[in-house]
Amino acid sequence: MNRIDEVFHKLKSEGRTALIPFITTGDPDLKTTVDIIIELERSGADMVELGVPYSDPLADGPVIQQASERALRGPVTLEACVEVAAQAAAAGVKMPFILFSYFNPILQYGLERFFTLIHEKGISGLIIPDLPIEEDGEVREMAAEAGIHLIPLVAPTSKARVQRIAALAQGFVYCVSSLGVTGMRSEFHSGIEEFLQSVREATPLPIAVGFGISSRDQVERMSKHADGVIVGSAIVRQVEEALPLLLKEDTYRDGISQIGRFVASLRI
């Protein structure tokens, strides 16, 4: 059984919702990302989305765009991002890793080579936001062979496609709470609850909701309708705010703990 399935199975038996942070790998550098992942798990994260920074993050708002720019100042290749997961696992992190990458870096690396790499390094899930199901046949087959869940995104506008996307999904279905790009929001797409219910009815898999979630109240609201909640920009913003502490040796641990305190505040 894939570790993502195990985590959702355990959480369901405990009546809990998965807390799934997204972070930009290599922001501010690869070593710090390993320490942030360890802190995320210590603070209550149940699995983590590791973003591969990309020069043209079309679906990302300013917070994640800037994090990608910071990361890309260093040697943050696709391979280095996957290695960060292996280093975190070697340091004792047990939670599943979901690699999050736009399709181009994967194509550049080579599909066969990519799936061999992420299988070897213990990646459990994969999200490729700009690969629609109409074009993901080969990738889905290769992911299945590698025992890695290819997790699809559905948006409130997906309407008729929800059935098809949900029927092909593996791991869980990522429900996007709002239209537009990633980023903290005070309001979500009107009818978000009905949308989540429609996805719930279209798949036996767990459903997780993301986009714009940045507070405990929002996590509590979304956890009524989903099995997992994804928080990205709000945590990436915490990394940005902790940079002055992270960049100095004598305050490094304070910076890591500051990020952890925010994540712990979201845990319900």
Residues that bind ligand IGP (CB under 6 A): 22, 49, 51, 59-60, 64, 129, 153, 182-183, 210-213, 230-234
Catalytic residue among 49, 145, 193, 250: 49
Instruction: Give whole-number Cα distances, 242 to 29, 36, 84, 182, 255, in Å.
Output: 13, 11, 20, 21, 5
Instruction: Give whole-number Cα distances, 155 to 71, 122, 224, 249, in Å.
Output: 28, 29, 18, 42
Closest distance to ligand IGP from the beta carbon of 183 (Å): 5
Closer residue to ligand IGP, CB minimum distance, 151 or 251: 151
- Going by C-alpha positions, the residue among 96, 118, 86, 126 that lies closest to residue 10 is 96
- Going by C-alpha positions, the residue among 102, 90, 93, 85 that lies closest to residue 33 is 85
Closer residue to ligand IGP, CB minimum distance, 51 or 255: 51
Catalytic residue among 60, 138, 220, 241: 60
Closer residue to ligand IGP, CB minimum distance, 223 or 251: 223
Q: How far apart are CA 67 and CA 165, in angstroms?
A: 30
| 46 noted as active-site residue | no
Closest distance to ligand IGP from the beta carbon of 249 (Å): 30
Closest distance to ligand IGP from the beta carbon of 234 (Å): 6
| 60 noted as active-site residue | yes
Q: Does residue 99 sit in helix, strand or coil?
A: strand
Residue position matching structure tokens 């260093």:
74
| Residue whose CB is nearest to ligand IGP in the complex, by number | 232
Q: At what angle do helices 137-145 and 111-120 cross, to 10 degrees?
A: 30
Closer residue to ligand IGP, CB minimum distance, 243 or 252: 243
Closest distance to ligand IGP from the beta carbon of 112 (Å): 25
Please identify every residue annotated as catalytic: 49, 60
